[in-house]
């Protein structure tokens, strides 16, 4: 049993919320969310959540943002959670409202993002009758939630909300769904917010086995070519300082996965970049040549390992992760360290000593110099990599960057250099197009004082473009970048390289004029077709206080390199002709 401190910090509000009144389920829900410290909820009303929205009406303490699609709401909640480290919350109605959340729930589940998702359902008496707008959303989302609840009695509601926040935000984080039948949101009961949590089947491991920590230290001592693979778990655990200390003490070269970007400063000499399919030459070679691979909060995704059989063939593998099921799931692990990444590293750091890795570091530094990320720039075309570099330079690497999915995502990962955690927000595991722009709205809501740049392709931008409306209405100052190559770029790249130039259904002709689209919603729109225009447009966007969309018309045929084809080992890289 553990007692959690309720997160509402405003004492006056806390006292008001804790009044033992007899209130409706809807009011209980709102009070509970506020007591959990929720300061912004993204949602979309409908029949089954009318009581809840009625309670929201006129509630001065409850901040709700109406998106234009439920998918926008959940991706925004996701961006809020990833950028703040807090739990993201969204609300949708039953049936289609709830099923519109499914992609966003799966996205959050794959990337371990803490969300609490509130859905309405039909009257409890009508459940199972195929009632209007009924969907078994707890059944539908069972494989993509960390846990879910169907509330059957209003008396359980406050306890369920409290449990949901606890489950979502502890251990390996993830989305938790609460499905509330309409009558439950109307029923009244006495409000009693008990802060006791007692979930018998849920007790995440925080501290690792000390013997395994000793084994890890011994392995570091014996290694000649050690390397660290740091994943999203470092960022989620808030362990960036501990990782930096670990690297400083041991001198072990460090690779950050797509989701681990920002968990280790890219300005550090020992940083080797991103691994995998579009990883840097040095990172991939290091993984293949290392004799000790320390995975930290990384789950050895197939985009990282590529052909598993030939992955890190000479390495003893150590794996630090809060989720025991990740250890040994993909790669055979010699030294498992299950526990909270921050706590494990704290323990390791107490005794960590420099590894004998001087020659190894020299070798890798030479490689970094010889095979840097590069592209063929010219003054005829606007290159997408140039646009990303320009954004990096002018923002001095200090922006929160969200991306959609595709070539622009990989270029952003390669050419924007991050030094802070929670500044890089991207859909890694599920690869969800349509994610980047609404996620940026959520990130901006959670970080009103920071510059948020949303980098999108022309394909993904059209998947949630309707959320331009909320940027305009609420003057959410996201800088929306469209890397426009008039094609589904990553698909084209695969069709070119793997499918013998058989370009099937990738031409995005007929896309809207993005400048006019932005303006139609009341967002400032700019366009750039060459370097000079690009710099001018970007500067204008930076000088404009509100939201701005910049349509960068880039070289259509540009590909992302290095590239490893599926079925190859990660050191079999295509380097491109640049």
Partner 1 sequence: MNATKHTISILVNNQPGVLQRVASLFGRRGFNIESITVGKSEEEGLSRMIIVTIGDDQKLEQISKQLYKVIDVIKVIDISANPMVERELALIKVNAEPSIRPEIIGVVETFRATIVDIGPKSIMVQVVGDSDKVKAMVELLKPYGVIQLTRTGVAAMIRGV
Tell which residue, 243, 252, 195, has the closest CA to residue 223: 252
182 labelled catalytic:
yes
Window contacting partner 1 (CB under 8 A); options: 213-221, 321-329, 399-407, 422-430:
321-329
CA distance 569 to 382: 33
| Contacting residue, 27, 70, 321, 323, with partner 1 by CB under 8 A | 323
Q: How do strand 226-230 and strand 254-256 relate by DSSP bridges?
A: parallel
Nearest alpha carbon to residue 88 among 57, 115, 62, 53: 115
Distances (CA, A) of 162 to 38, 178, 191, 195, 316: 12, 11, 13, 7, 42
- Give residues 406-465 in contact with partner 1 (rule: CB under 8 A): none
| Four-point Cα dihedral 87, 90, 96, 100, nearest 10 | -60
Regarding 328 and contact with partner 1 (CB under 8 A), the answer is yes
Query: Of the ranges 28-36, 189-197, 198-206, 313-321, which one interacts with partner 1 (CB under 8 A)?
Result: 198-206
Q: Which is nearer to partner 1, 200 or 369 (CB)?
A: 200
Stretch that binds partner 1, among 1-9, 90-98, 194-202, 363-371 (CB under 8 A): 194-202
Residue among 7, 133, 496, 533 flagged as catalytic = 133
Query: What is the distance between the alpha carbons of residues 102 and 140, in angstroms, rounded to a whole number?
Result: 8
For position 173 contacting partner 1 by CB under 8 A, the verdict is no
**15-54 mask for partner 1 (x: CB under 8 A)?**
----------------------------------------
> From the candidates 306, 463, 490, 563, which is the catalytic residue?
490
Of residues 86, 147, 303, 342, which one binds partner 1 by CB under 8 A?
A: 147
Q: Is 308 in the site for partner 1 (CB under 8 A)?
A: no
Choose, by CB under 8 A, the member of 18, 68, 131, 202 that binds partner 1: 202
Which residue in 297, 292, 375, 302 sits closest to 335, CA to CA? 292
| Residues 397 and 417: beta-carbon distance below 8 Å | yes
Active-site position among 182, 285, 342, 368: 182
Helices then strands (H, E): number in the chain?
23, 24
133 is annotated as an active-site residue: yes
| Residue 146 found at the interface with partner 1 (CB under 8 A) | yes
How far is the first Cα of the chain from the last one, in angstroms, to the nearest whole number? 59
576 part of the interface to partner 1, by CB under 8 A: no
User: Does 199 engage in binding with partner 1 (CB under 8 A)?
Assistant: yes
User: Using omega within 30 degrees of 0 as the cis cutoff, is the peptide bond preceding 562 cis?
Assistant: yes
- One of 167, 337, 387, 478 touching partner 1 (CB under 8 A): 167
Contact flag: residue 128 with partner 1 (CB under 8 A): no
Cα–Cα distance, 479 to 518 (Å, whole number)? 12
Is residue 11 near partner 1 by the rule CB under 8 A? no
Q: From the CB of 139, what's the least distance to partner 1, in Å?
A: 7
Nearer to partner 1, 148 or 414 (CB): 148
CA dist 256 and 469 (Å) reads: 35
Q: Which of 11, 57, 200, 505 binds partner 1 (CB under 8 A)?
A: 200
- Exposed/middle/buried for 474, CB within 10 Å: 0-12, 13-18, 19+? middle
- Read off φ and ψ for residue 14, nearest 5 degrees: -60, -45
Least distance CB 345 / partner 1 (angstroms): 22
Residue in 16, 218, 329, 393 binding partner 1, rule: CB under 8 A: 329
Q: How far apart are CA 97 and CA 438, in angstroms?
A: 17
Identify the residue among 85, 238, 324, 477 touching partner 1 (CB under 8 A). Answer: 324
Catalytic residue numbers read 70, 132-133, 182, 490
Residues within the interface to partner 1 (CB under 8 A): 138-139, 142-143, 146-147, 150, 167, 172, 199-202, 323-325, 327-329
């Amino acid at each position: 049993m553990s007692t959690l401190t309720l997160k509402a910090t405003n004492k006056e509000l806390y006292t008001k919320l804790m009044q033992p009144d007899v209130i409706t389920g809807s009011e209980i829900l709102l009070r509970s969310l506020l007591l959990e410290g929720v300061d912004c909820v993204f949602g979309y009303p409908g029949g089954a959540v009318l009581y809840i929205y009625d309670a929201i009406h006129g509630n001065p303490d409850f901040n709700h943002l109406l998106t234009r699609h439920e998918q926008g709401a959940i991706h925004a909640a996701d961006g809020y959670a990833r950028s703040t480290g807090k739990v993201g919350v969204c609300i949708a109605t039953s049936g289609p409202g709830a099923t519109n959340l499914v992609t966003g729930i799966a996205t959050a589940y794959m990337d371990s993002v803490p969300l609490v998702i509130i859905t309405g359902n039909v009257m409890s008496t009508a459940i199972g009758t195929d009632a209007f707008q009924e969907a078994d959303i707890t059944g539908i989302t069972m494989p993509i939630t960390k846990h879910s609840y169907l509330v059957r009695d209003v008396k359980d509601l406050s306890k369920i909300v409290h449990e949901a926040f606890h489950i979502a935000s502890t251990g390996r984080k993830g989305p938790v769904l609460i499905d509330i039948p309409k009558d439950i949101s109307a029923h009244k009961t006495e409000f009693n917010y008990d802060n006791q949590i007692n979930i018998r089947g849920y007790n995440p491991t925080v501290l690792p086995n000390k013997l395994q920590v000793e084994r890890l230290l011994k392995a570091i001592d014996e290694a000649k070519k050690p390397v660290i693979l740091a994943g999203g778990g470092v960022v989620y655990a808030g362990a960036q300082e501990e990782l930096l200390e670990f690297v400083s003490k041991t001198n072990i070269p460090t690779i950050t996965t797509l989701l681990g970007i920002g968990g280790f400063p890219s300005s550090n000499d020992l940083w080797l970049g991103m691994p995998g399919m579009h990883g840097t030459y040095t990172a991939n070679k290091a993984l293949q040549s290392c004799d000790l691979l320390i995975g930290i909060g990384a789950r050895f995704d197939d985009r990282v390992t590529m052909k598993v059989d030939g992955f890190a063939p000479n390495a003893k593998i150590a794996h630090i992760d809060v989720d025991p099921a990740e250890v040994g799931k993909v790669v055979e692990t010699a030294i498992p360290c299950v526990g909270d990444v921050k706590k494990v590293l704290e323990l390791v750091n107490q005794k960590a000593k420099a590894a004998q890795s001087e020659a190894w570091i020299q070798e890798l530094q030479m490689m970094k110099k010889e095979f840097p990320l590069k592209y063929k720039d010219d003054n005829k075309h606007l290159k997408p990599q140039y646009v990303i570099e320009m954004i990096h330079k002018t923002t001095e690497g200090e922006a929160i960057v969200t991306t959609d999915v595709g070539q622009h995502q990989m270029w952003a990962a390669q050419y924007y250099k991050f030094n802070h955690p929670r500044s890089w927000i991207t859909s890694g595991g599920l690869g969800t197009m349509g994610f980047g722009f609404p996620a940026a709205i959520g990130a901006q809501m959670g970080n009103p004082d920071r510059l948020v740049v949303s980098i999108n392709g022309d394909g993904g931008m059209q998947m949630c473009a309707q959320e331009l409306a909320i940027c305009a209405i609420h003057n959410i100052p996201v800088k929306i970048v469209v890397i426009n190559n008039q094609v589904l770029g990553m698909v084209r790249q695969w069709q070119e390289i793997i499918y013998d130039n058989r370009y099937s259904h990738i031409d995005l002709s007929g896309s809207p004029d993005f400048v006019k689209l932005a303006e139609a919603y009341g967002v400032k729109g700019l366009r750039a077709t060459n370097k000079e225009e690009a710099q001018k447009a970007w500067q204008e966007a930076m000088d404009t206080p509100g939201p701005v969309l910049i349509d960068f018309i880039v070289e259509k045929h540009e590909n992302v390199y290095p590239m490893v084809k599926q079925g190859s080992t990660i050191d079999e890289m295509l380097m491109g002709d640049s």
